[in-house]
A and B are shown apart, each in its own frame.
Chain A
């Protein structure tokens, strides 16, 4: 007989693991990835491959040579950061810029705080916002979607529906008239619009969300709170003054709202622990996104909104406690 193992209970484990969760997210990202390949062909492939490989490489180098730890690049989290970074940048971005973005994402966004689970901000967004501020021109000229193009640096660039809308309103046009100049809601939902590689098709992202909900990787609270609060807030603005503000459906389907709500805001380490906290976090993201889109200088604000709310997570975790057992009025005779 072997020596008996003595350990405290429980003596069984669910078999759930970091890897299962992380690769689950990777699988959930596949539909959006396929759409980006379909629209941007070689460009999307090169951007995604560069981002993923450099994120994993930087994590490995920092972990092994600076932190003197065992490498954890195969747990899938660096791969997710790479994929999300690629999804958030134009698919004709020069490769050196992507590598810088990956270094900032992993080096500053994740490893400087201690690696997996310790990053207060979403690493991919840290990289993305760094690039947006450092390379504003390259980061805001998107190639037009085409069927499986085999060129890398497209000459034809297309504006996103959000930036078209923003400029039109600024020059005094009616938001409802602008809707005719941009893709229809249906086309936007199916991904036939300009924008970053992975943010375009709402349907692909919702498929991914469905998979993550089914596998219990995330709960519905954060995505629903973000999308619902954007809908409500823009709805109030639109119906009080339709001359100035675009309809809520436009805001829901354009830009990176779905991608942000489903994949960025739900990042484990930079979102609140409790479900109640998640709802507050989501509403905060929605409100700040709309404020930036409507009143700010940038056409899109979800990245900033998520990063701002990331900073509030410790506060939310401190003050929002889960519902305790026995707290409801227990027993009335």
Chain B
């Protein structure tokens, strides 16, 4: 029996059309738009000004405070302006616009493809390099990686988990990365292990990626301490809490972080970025993005520079179909609907999903029939039907007592509801309110 998490979960159709498609390097566009807030935490402060000439890898914006990170230039060229531009959230955010001229990289970046296995940097140096390189969780959460690696005093970490489950339907970026960058993932994992001073690491992969499991298993013998863990296919296994539960049977208590149960989770894409940062001195300015959808003629995996407009990626994947009704940044379960095709790729862009018009609209909402399926599928053991009602009726004390803040917004309840009720929409509203109330209480 393969392991999986203990509560709830769903198994939507996988639809991994781009599986097995080699990662193609996307040509550098004529112009890029690089938002200064691509991560959770404080937006970076620009250190360049209009007219400046930058190279690939030049620092554009500097992190402020601990939970924040640097932004580097993904292209070489001259800085046109710093302007407010629509991003994937649908809001206008401060963005650095660069006109591309040639493709000149900073000399400090080692562009050779040769594998560098030996890790010379110390634990502290590794964490510093990761912070400087602007690395964030590439699974989509975009939490600055160095923060996770800095174990707070009094806490200990005894095992590292690499999140390679890619449980979102459609997405294949991590899958393809494992097939093509196996060694880099192994060395990257060892870098994490050194930074955290642990001797055990698990690379968790869902069982629908047999080729990746076999490939990494064949490599793992050369890298002591790293084991490959195939997991049962179940959404939302890529959620940090669910993944830790699935791999090592430890459940994070309400409101706590993974370090509470002695572990740290890093995404597999992040692992490759960390390898490149520590061993090759390359900051994070490009990433693998899946472009897919039922109506796409050429579902693909691209290596794209940050700031590339999604229209370039869609064009490279066969163009936008006529009957497109929705464009999602990320996977279908947790991704965000995008407002237009000028939105730039950011560090958190794992995929672009094109949804046909007929599948883009929600079905009409019906009465709750009290079937209880939302409770059955909730991976956090919550009561979505009740949280929706109390959020709607502004009964926030009950919402808090019924642990609304534990919701990880995976969407399993809304996905499952036979009456097509917008459960998660209301729970999000309730979470916002309850969060406000809780913060005002501590003040």
Contact = CB atoms under 8 A, between A and B. Distances in A.
Interface centre among A8, A118, A269 (most CB of B within 10 A): A8
B443 interface: no
Interface in A310-328: 317, 321-328
A331 B250 contact: yes
Report, as a range, how many residues of chain A touch the other chain: 35 or more
Given A4-B327, A4-B337, A330-B250, A10 B385 contact: no
A1 B322 contact: yes
B414 A6 contact: no
B357 interface: yes
A273 interface: yes
B416 to A, nearest CB: 5
A322 B369 contact: no
Contact of A322 (B320, B328, B336, B383): B383
Given A10-B334, A14-B10, A18-B418, A2 B325 contact: yes
Contacts of A5: 325-326, 337, 360-361
Contact of A325 (B12, B369, B381, B420): B381
Contact of A331 (B261, B335, B376): B261
Interface centre among A17, A18, A116, A324 (most CB of B within 10 A): A324
A273 B326 contact: no
B251 A2 contact: no
A324 B375 CA distance: 10
A324 B381 contact: yes
A181 interface: no
A302 to B, nearest CB: 21
A133 B373 CA distance: 36
A14 B416 contact: yes
A1 B322 CA distance: 6
B441 to A, nearest CB: 22
B369 A21 contact: yes
Interface string B184-196: 0000000000000
Interface in A1-37: 1-2, 4-14, 16-18, 20-21
B424 to A, nearest CB: 7
Contacts of B363: 13, 17
Contacts, number: 173
Contact of A12 (B322, B370, B415): B415
Interface residues of B, number: 76
B261 A4 contact: no
B337 A13 contact: no
A273 B375 contact: yes
Contact of A117 (B328, B333, B370, B382): B370
B241 A325 contact: yes
A188 B420 CA distance: 42
Interface centre among B357, B368, B369 (most CB of A within 10 A): B369
A248 interface: no
Interface centre among A16, A118, A325, A333 (most CB of B within 10 A): A325
A190 to B, nearest CB: 32
A326 B416 contact: no
Contacts of B409: 9
A325 B379 contact: yes
Contacts of B362: 7, 13
B415 A116 contact: no
A326 B337 contact: no
B280 interface: no
A327 B373 CA distance: 21
Given A268-B369, A273-B383, A11 B425 contact: no
Contact of B375 (A13, A14, A268, A322): A322
Nearest to A271: B370
Contacts of B169: 12
B336 A9 contact: yes
Contacts of B10: 14
B49 to A, nearest CB: 34
Interface centre among A5, A12, A18, A323 (most CB of B within 10 A): A12
A162 B272 CA distance: 72
A327 B382 CA distance: 12
Nearest to B334: A9
Interface centre among B320, B322, B355, B415 (most CB of A within 10 A): B415
A324 B251 CA distance: 10
A274 interface: yes
B91 to A, nearest CB: 12
A16 B322 CA distance: 28
Contacts of B250: 330-331
Contacts of A271: 370
A149 interface: no
A115 interface: yes
A325 B7 contact: yes
B371 A9 contact: no
Given A11-B333, A11-B337, A116-B367, 4 more contacts: A14-B10, A269-B370, A274-B372, A325-B254
15 contacts: A1-B320, A6-B337, A7-B362, A9-B332, A11-B332, A11-B355, A12-B415, A14-B12, A17-B418, A21-B371, A219-B376, A273-B386, A324-B380, A331-B260, A331-B262
